[in-house]
């Protein structure tokens, strides 16, 4: 097993100085409050040394690297063909080359965003000072374009990620959250808090209790999809009252997908909700970084390639709270994706299943957008609604105990099952919460 890398206690910030002056200062102020020490060239006090030697030494002494790439290529040291910013990126990738997930945090402004326009204007003003000749300026622009393309290509590998940002808040929040995720800060702090019940049930197991109707509907629909040569994908809706076990059921679906030898992808859109965010999110899960906004064609091409290798199960934990979220999913994301898949060359060997998790009861569905899963004339251009999640009954709990808790005696199982019902024999509200928080709730 690989040795885990240390926590991030120091970072090397690589960015052209004059045009990126404001975001550099924003980053410095933010990360020093974590606190993380950050290395900036303007803070160095060794003017007698060669800049490139100092850069490399300081970079390799840090725990991680932050690359901020705008529109200016920057200064090229004597004897080199690359700018100091490109050299720093190359040194970083080489230094951490043995790491499956290297501590390289890369940020590029999203095309057309506030940050993109500001950095472009700043770069152009400085380029005009540096290079009076337009032909020389254009050559510098092209070198920066080629360098950023190389960064994007490198970031497409496993364990790597680019963070597009829209403004300074996006940039700072993205970096700070990335550092916390890397350091597993929340996990370590949670260990000092209240302990869970000794008998706490794993979410993947808890989510399967009493969910046989939903699982059977999903399995039947999957068999139908696999038999239809002209159907490449199907989307399913998990719905029910808020906090009725949706996320636990999603975890049970992850386990089911893995047991069925599907590639399971799950994640929440980073930049809000809606069809555009979904396109970007699925692209990120498939390692198709998009710096120019949503690109359904590139996404479909990547999906078709993956479906030649194995079936895919994509689980979206939430579509947000907008009233039209389900309709937007179908018309703005799902049907354009199906059209793009159908336009591809040939039919892949496997199929895509997408599961959308919603956290409210389903209103009367529009037949042209949402259908009950397993309907006789299933239209897979619609969202297939699985049976609604309901609270658990004492029979559900008893059946689970019979199946899973072999170490318990029959009287113990009956006692716990009886405790899942009130005096009138009806299950109490929020049995999911009770199972989740109190485990087996028995001495």
pLDDT tens, residue by residue, 55-112: 888 899 999 999 999 999 999 888 788 999 999 999 999 999 888 788 999 999 998 8
Q: Please, which pLDDT band fits residue 278 given cuts at 50, 70 and 90? A: confident
The whole-number average pLDDT for the span 208-229 is: 91
What's the whole-number average pLDDT of the chain?
82
Q: How far apart are CA 165 and CA 81, in angstroms?
A: 29
Helix (H, G, I), strand (E, B) or coil at 334: helix
For residue 21, pLDDT beyond 60: yes
Q: What is the pLDDT of residue 105?
A: 93
For residue 40, the tally of other CB atoms under 10 A from its CB is 17
Q: Judge whether 155 and 148 are in contact, CB under 8 Å.
A: no
The CA-based dihedral angle spanning residues 372, 376, 380, 381, taken in that order and rounded to the nearest 10 degrees = -80
Alpha carbons within 13 angstroms on the beta-carbon side of residue 212 total: 8
Residue range 211-385, CATH number: 3.40.50
Residues in the chain: 443
For residue 118, pLDDT beyond 70: yes
User: What are the distances in angstroms from CA 279 to CA 276, 294, 335, 337, 397?
Assistant: 5, 6, 12, 9, 39
What is the C-alpha R_g of the chain? 26
For residue 323, the tally of other CB atoms under 10 A from its CB is 8
State the DSSP string of 208-252.
Answer: TTT-HHHHHHHHHHHHHHHH-TT--EEEEEE--STTSSHHHHHHH
Nearest CA-CA partner of 14 in 73, 64, 85, 81: 85
Q: How far apart are CA 358 and CA 362, in angstroms?
A: 9
What are the residues facing 39 on neighbouring strands? 12
Q: How far apart are CA 403 and CA 107, in angstroms?
A: 49
Q: Tell me: the pLDDT tens digits for 142-191?
A: 999 999 988 988 887 766 778 889 999 989 998 988 888 887 644 444 44
Helix (H, G, I), strand (E, B) or coil at 94: helix
Which CATH class for the 10-188 domain? alpha beta
Residue intervals of the chain classified under CATH 3.40.50.10140 are: 10-188
For residue 197, pLDDT beyond 80: no
The whole-number average pLDDT for the span 120-124 is: 96
Q: Judge whether 218 and 236 are in contact, CB under 8 Å.
A: yes
256-265, 304-313, 314-323, 391-400: range with lowest mean pLDDT: 391-400
Backbone angles phi, psi at 80, to 5 degrees: -115, 155
What are the residues facing 142 on neighbouring strands? none
At 337, which helix (H) or strand (E)?
helix 335-342
Q: Tell me: the pLDDT tens digits for 394-436?
A: 677 777 766 666 556 667 666 666 665 555 555 555 555 556 5
Q: What is the pLDDT of residue 188?
A: 45
How much of the chain, in percent, has pLDDT values that exceed 70?
79
For residue 49, pLDDT beyond 50: no
Nearest CA-CA partner of 394 in 368, 415, 363, 366: 415
Q: Judge whether 339 and 385 are in contact, CB under 8 Å.
A: no
For residue 315, the tally of other CB atoms under 10 A from its CB is 21
Nearest CA-CA partner of 9 in 34, 44, 40: 34
Highest mean pLDDT (candidates 41-50, 183-192, 289-298, 314-323): 314-323
Q: How far apart are CA 338 and CA 319, in angstroms?
A: 19
Q: What is the pLDDT of residue 366?
A: 63
Q: What is the pLDDT of residue 276?
A: 85
Helix (H, G, I), strand (E, B) or coil at 95: helix
Q: What is the pLDDT of residue 307?
A: 93
User: What are the distances in angstroms from CA 273 to CA 68, 84, 281?
Assistant: 26, 38, 10
% helix, strand, coil for the chain, step of 5: 45, 10, 45
For residue 233, pLDDT beyond 60: yes
Nearest CA-CA partner of 163 in 5, 3, 8, 23: 23
Q: How far apart are CA 408 and CA 401, in angstroms?
A: 8
For residue 4, pLDDT beyond 60: no
What are the residues facing 64 on neighbouring strands? 11
Is residue 253 exposed (0-12), middle (13-18) or buried (19+ Cβ within 10 Å)?
Answer: buried
Q: Please, which pLDDT band fits residue 198 given cuts at 50, 70 and 90? A: very low
């Amino acid at each position: 097993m690989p040795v885990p890398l240390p926590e991030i206690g120091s970072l090397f910030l690589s960015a052209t100085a004059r045009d990126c002056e404001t975001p550099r200062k924003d980053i410095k102020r933010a990360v020093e409050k974590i606190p993380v020490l950050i290395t900036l060239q303007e803070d160095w006090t060794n003017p007698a040394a060669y800049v490139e030697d100092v850069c490399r030494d300081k970079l390799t002494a840090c725990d991680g690297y932050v690359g901020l790439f705008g529109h200016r290529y920057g200064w090229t040291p004597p004897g080199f063909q690359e700018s100091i910013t490109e050299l720093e990126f190359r040194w970083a990738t080489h230094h951490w080359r043995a790491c499956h997930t290297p501590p390289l945090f890369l940020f590029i402004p999203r095309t057309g965003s506030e940050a993109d326009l500001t950095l472009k204007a700043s770069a152009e003003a400085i380029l005009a000072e540096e290079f009076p000749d337009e032909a020389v300026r254009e050559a510098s622009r092209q070198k920066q374009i080629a360098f950023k393309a190389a960064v994007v290509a490198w970031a497409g590998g496993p364990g790597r990620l680019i963070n597009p940002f829209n403004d300074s808040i996006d940039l700072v929040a993205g970096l700070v959250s990335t550092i916390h995720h890397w350091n597993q800060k929340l996990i370590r702090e949670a260990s000092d808090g209240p302990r869970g019940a000794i008998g706490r049930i794993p979410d993947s197991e808890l989510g399967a209790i009493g969910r046989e109707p939903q699982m059977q509907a999903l399995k039947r629909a999957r068999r139908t999809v696999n038999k239809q040569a002209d159907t490449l994908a199907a989307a399913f809706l998990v719905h029910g009252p808020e906090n009725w076990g949706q996320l636990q059921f999603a975890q049970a679906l992850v386990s089911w997908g893995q047991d069925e030898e599907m590639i399971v992808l799950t994640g929440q859109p980073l930049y809000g909700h809606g069809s555009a965010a979904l396109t970007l999110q699925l692209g990120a899960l498939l390692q198709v970084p998009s710096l120019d906004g949503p690109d359904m064609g590139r996404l479909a091409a990547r999906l078709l390639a993956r479906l030649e290798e194995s079936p895919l199960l994509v689980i979206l934990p939430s579509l947000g709270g907008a009233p039209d979220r389900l309709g937007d999913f179908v018309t703005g994301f799902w049907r354009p994706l199906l059209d793009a898949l159908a336009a591809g060359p040939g039919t892949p060997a496997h199929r895509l299943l997408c599961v959308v998790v919603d956290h409210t009861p389903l209103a009367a569905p529009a037949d042209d957008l949402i259908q009950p899963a397993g309907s006789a004339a299933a239209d897979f251009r619609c969202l297939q609604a699985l049976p609604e999640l309901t609270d658990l009954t004492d029979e559900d709990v008893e059946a689970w105990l019979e199946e899973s808790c072999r170490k318990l005696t029959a009287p113990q199982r009956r006692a716990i099952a009886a405790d899942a019902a009130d005096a009138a024999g009806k299950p109490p509200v929020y049995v999911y919460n009770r199972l989740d928080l109190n485990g087996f709730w028995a001495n």
